[in-house]
Structures are given as C-alpha cells and as structure tokens.
Amino acid sequence: MPGPDRLSGLLAPVCTPFREDLSPDPERLASHCRWLLSQNAGLAVFGTNSEANSLSIGEKIELLDHLVDTGIDTNRLMPGTGHCALTDTVKLTTHAVNLGCAGTLMLPPFYYKDVSDDGLYASFAEVIERVGNENLRIYLYHIPPIAHVSISPQLVERLVRDYPATVVGIKDSSGDWSNTEALLKLELDDFRVFAGSEAFLLRNMRGGGAGCISATANINPAAIHDLYVSWKSEDADAKQERLNNVRSIAQKYPMISALKTTIANFRGDPQWEITRPPLVPLSGDQKSLLISELVHAGFDMPGLID
C-alpha cells in the first residue's frame, strides 16, 4: 500500500490549552483543532508555539490519542516528535506513525551545541532505522534562533539521498530568507519546503515552496490559507501585507502568550490564557493593548466552534 501523501499548504503549531492545575486540557485542544481544520489549516501539534518542550512524552501521547479518538483527521496531523533523547524521539515518532499521522515534524537533538553534520545525520538515521516503518514521513525542523542547532542544506541533501521516501520536507524557521532560498534550490525530488512564518509565504510560493507552518496560523488561518491558494493573483502582495500587519501586532509581545490571549478573547474563554511555567501570561496592560490593536486592524476569528 502507498504511504501517506506529502503535506503542503498551511499548518498551525497548535497552542496547547492548560487547566488551572497546569495539566493539558484535551477537550479545549480538540475544539481548537476542529476550528483550525474548518479554516483549512493542518495541525502541527507539539510545535514551538504548542509549548511542546514543556510537555512530557506521556502527555503528548495522551493528547494525540485524544485527538484521534475524537475524530481528528490523521491525514492533517504533523506532530512534533523531536527530542533531545533518542529514545524519546523514537517512542513518540513510532506512536504517531502507528496512529496514521501523515507526517512528523522533527527537531534535531538540541541540547548539545556545535555538533557536526555527521552527528546529526547519525541521530536522524538512528531514529528512522529504529522506527522501521515505511509509512514514516519526516519534515525536518530548522529553528536555530531557539534550538541553536542548525540543519544545513548539505545535511538535508545527505538525508534525502539515503532516505528519499522518509525525509520529505523541512520547516525553515531560521528567519533568514537566503537560507529558505538555498533549500528551495536544492535539486531534490518533491521535497517540501515550508516557511516558518507567513511573512515569507508569498516569496516561498513564488520560489516553489510548499506553504508555511506558522505560529499566527493559530489565530489567522483563513487569511493565510487564502494567500496560499491565491499567490498568483494580482492582489497577492496586498494580501501578504495584511498578513504581515497582523503578525507584527502579535509579535510585539511574547508570541505564545499573545496567541493564547487572542484565542481567549475571541472565544470568551479566559482559561486559554494559562501558560505552563516558565512562561507567563500577558499583563493586563499588554492584553488590553494587544486586543485593541487587533480590533483596530479589523481582525476577527470567524466561525469559532466548540
């Protein structure tokens, strides 16, 4: 049987809601995922803006199981499965593949710095061999501003050469367009390059990219998806500017807390503001300014569903 189709389009690193006791809230997560799907966004759960590295392996497995059990389409799921410990990465990746997830978004092991391409290759290769499933599809996660461990174009080429049916794409969250451009120019068959921000979406599409996996897809998915499908239109540059405006408002504040404040406001659900320490919610003044700026810009989150 053929494996999962390669993903493209818009995906959201889905924010993780917490209860008052700081335990993850699977029902609120599933509700937000259903809304994102209704707005044509795929689900990169356990990404950076999911507070993924504040969650245990067990918590992630329970949340993923709940999403699947409540009918979330596994063809739209790209959970983040990369961890510092090889065995953790293998365990969560294996679980995601066995559930039928279309792909996994995989950080490099990020605790040790200045590691070689040979070391990173050995890590990814060991995960692939240990998972040992022909349905595994890995989208590499390059985010040097946070991980401080880079996935070089040369490493990408080597992995794709040796595992062409498994290593099928990359999310470039370097914030450096020249790096994304270099990835787009690699001569790799059907390799999917996702921008790590919708600020680069139009340039990525014009360069042959696959879409974007972006924090603000949590709150502005319909408009981002609209540019993805209409990037050849005459008003594409104007649409990009409108996306940039919303993102510029959100990123004036700590991004995860800003996203959660926005969701809480437009859902009328203050519990969404909860973050797991060491992150903290926005202050009262910050919340007021953020929402005021968004409303002034004509922002809304239409079609919110429970």
Residue 193: pLDDT band with limits 50, 70, 90: very high
> Residue 182 and residue 154: Cα distance in Å, rounded?
10
Query: Could you tell me what percent of the chain has a pLDDT over 70?
Result: 99
Q: Which CATH superfamily is domain 9-231 in?
A: Aldolase class I (3.20.20.70)
* Per-residue model confidence as pLDDT tens digits over 169-183: 999 999 999 999 999
The token duo for 206 is 């014009």
Residue 306: pLDDT band with limits 50, 70, 90: low
User: What mean pLDDT is predicted for residues 216-231?
Assistant: 98
Instruction: Provide the pLDDT for residue 148.
Output: 96
**pLDDT exceeds 60 at position 1:** no
- The 3-state DSSP class for residue 172 equals strand
**DSSP class of 213:** E
Instruction: Provide the pLDDT for residue 179.
Output: 98
Inter-axis angle of helices 221-229 and 236-250, nearest 10? 150
Domain ranges across the chain: 9-231
Residue 17: pLDDT band with limits 50, 70, 90: very high
pTM: 0.96
**DSSP class of 128:** H
What pairs with residue 172 in β-bridges? 142, 195
Residue 212: pLDDT band with limits 50, 70, 90: very high
- Closest by CA position to 209, among listed 226, 225, 223, 190: 190
* Per-residue model confidence as pLDDT tens digits over 46-98: 999 999 999 999 999 999 999 999 999 999 999 999 999 999 999 999 999 99
**DSSP class of 80:** B
